[in-house]
Chains A and B, each alone.
Chain A
Amino acid sequence: MSARPGAQRLLLEAAVGLLLVTFVCALFWWVFANLDTAWEWSRAWDYRAHLLDGWGRTLWISLLALPGSCLVAGLLVAGSRTKLRTVSWFTRGFVELVRGMPLLTLVLIGYYVVFAQKSVSEFFHLDGPEGKIAAGIALLSIFTAAYLSEILRGGLDSIPQGQIDSARAVGFDRVQVFRYVIFPQALRRVLPALAGQFVTLVKDSSLLSVIGIMEFTYGARTYNSATYGGIEGFIMLGIGYLLITLPIAGFAHWMERRFRYTM
């Protein structure tokens, strides 16, 4: 052992870090130097309102579908855990059905079959562009909820019987056992998986363009075809999504650290 492992380690980290940064920069330079398309940032600037509009819509859809999916997932978990067999089978069947379909298919069927029913769209006041977005948010929530509910169910099932015994032994009733002992532990165990699913939700919202919702990806595509634009559209697209997904991931990591209870 060296006398000052800390300093040596720091040196190693710095050296490796420098190497990695150099490598990535070189790679980028090589890739972009070989492209024949020209950068057209001035055109992107002219279309800024259009692009920002799409980005904002994606942000809004995500912000609403996030709690929406949690709500539906909660119902699905409750449904799959009830003592009433028919209800739990029905719920699990529904979850498998949704998980077995590509989101694209679900969105198309949902929008052109279910929400196309006059009675349905009138009941939910879904005519007009806002209605389209509401339907999109609902479909995205349901799709994500199917995955969330499976993650949560796995977490709840992973809590050892001993914890349930202890909770009953201190006198908690059924609801309290769940609320104070099972759920908080399960939630902490599945937090990373949940965060991943939320990030996926944001990215999946790009598929809502198939029913004509002008979200961010749709906006970038129309920008490209209108301006015969170059790759700057795609670059902005990548950065735009990261601006939404990275904070979600960061928040989840913070929660994980904050509520860690295993050493």
Chain B
Amino acid sequence: MDISAAALTKRYGPLAALDALDLEVQGARVMALIGPSGGGKSTLLRAIGGLELPTSGALAVNGVDPSGKDGGLSWRRRNGFLFQQFNLFPHLTAYRNVTLPLEKVHGHAPEKAKSLADESIERFGLAAHAHKLPAQLSGGQQQRVGLARAIAHRPEILILDEPTSALDPEMTAEVLELIGELATGGQRIILSTHEMGFARAVADQIALIAAGKVAEHGTAAGVLESPREEITQRFLSKVMRFA
């Protein structure tokens, strides 16, 4: 997975959520974004996922401009996305949440959509909950369904924005385990997380995003164990204090 951002900027009024951000990533399997709250991780992920049109600058992911020609639609269809929460459509069952995009976006016949959905639902141990509505599922189950939906069409890149930060520790563990399995299976992933131990375990590259810029970027071991930048050192000592 290659990511190339040059002077990437996203403004919300006077505020620059991404402030002339530069990033060169080559051959990453799992890329983790860490950093202080409000630093711009979500904004960068939304730009990478083709959900947000940058104000200026250039961005290419695997050689593609994510919000290119059709406003990012075809890029979004190629990839999978999971947010912190409220991913599922509350008026549809867990099962329908997975099959509807397979039918309407990826053009699979209902039978084919069903078999693809069954595959990812069973893989995540959700068969017993498939016919429930999201409101009848626990937070962890909801995220697992969201994950099942995000990978059902075999995405090129799976983009996860703090997938566990709305969950309690037990549910966090069950979701992280699944993400770890996907990574082991070869799924290319880019995620933001506050779980440093998890980032260390699954990511091969890590970037620390602060104030709309990349403060430090390198291998997971390098950034987490021997950070070069002072801002990274301060951030890590803060988040590790109670770890």
Contacts and interface: CB of A to CB of B under 8 A. Distances in A.
By secondary structure, the B interface counts as loop
Interface string A138-165: 0000000000000000000000101101
B136 interface: yes
A261 B135 contact: yes
B104 interface: yes
Contact of B104 (A176, A184, A185, A261): A176
A185 B101 contact: no
Interface stretch (B11-19, B82-90, B172-180, B227-235): B82-90
B100 interface: yes
B91 interface: yes
Interface residues of B, number: 24
Contacts of A171: 73, 76-77, 101, 105-106
A166 to B, nearest CB: 5
Interface in B83-141: 83, 85-91, 100-101, 104-106, 133-136
Nearest to A176: B104
Contacts of A172: 101, 104-105
Nearest to B87: A166
A170 B87 CA distance: 10
B93 to A, nearest CB: 9
Contacts of A261: 90-91, 133-135
A149 B206 CA distance: 50
B90 to A, nearest CB: 5
Central interface residue in B51, B83, B89, by most chain A CB within 10 Å: B89
B149 interface: yes
A262 B210 CA distance: 38
B104 A168 contact: no
Given A168-B51, A171-B106, A185 B90 contact: yes
A169 B49 contact: yes
A92 interface: no
Given A171-B76, A261-B133, A263-B136, A166 B88 contact: yes
B76 A180 contact: no
Contacts of B101: 170-172
Contact of A181 (B49, B89, B105, B136): B89
Nearest to A173: B73
Interface in A228-263: 259, 261-263
A190 interface: no
A43 interface: no
Interface residues of A, number: 22
A172 B134 CA distance: 20
Given A168-B51, A171-B105, A263-B136, A163 B73 contact: no
B105 A163 contact: no
Interface in B45-98: 49, 51, 73, 76-77, 81, 83, 85-91
A167 interface: yes
B86 A166 contact: yes
B94 to A, nearest CB: 12
B105 A170 contact: yes
B106 A263 contact: no
Given A171-B73, A172-B105, A263-B135, A165 B83 contact: yes
A188 interface: yes
A166 B100 CA distance: 13
A162 B91 contact: no
Contacts of A167: 89
Given A166-B83, A176-B105, A188 B91 contact: yes
Contacts of B73: 171, 173
Given A171-B106, A180-B100, A259 B91 contact: yes
A181 B88 CA distance: 10
Contacts of B77: 171
A171 B136 CA distance: 25
Given A162-B83, A165-B83, 18 more contacts: A162-B86, A166-B81, A166-B83, A166-B86, A166-B87, A166-B88, A168-B51, A168-B76, A169-B49, A169-B51, A171-B76, A171-B105, A171-B106, A176-B104, A180-B104, A181-B89, A261-B134, A263-B135
Interface of B: 49, 51, 73, 76-77, 81, 83, 85-91, 100-101, 104-106, 133-136, 149
3 nearest CB pairs, A to B: A169-B81, A171-B77, A171-B105
18 contacts: A162-B85, A170-B76, A170-B81, A170-B149, A171-B73, A171-B105, A172-B104, A173-B73, A180-B104, A184-B91, A185-B89, A185-B90, A185-B91, A188-B91, A259-B91, A261-B90, A261-B133, A263-B136
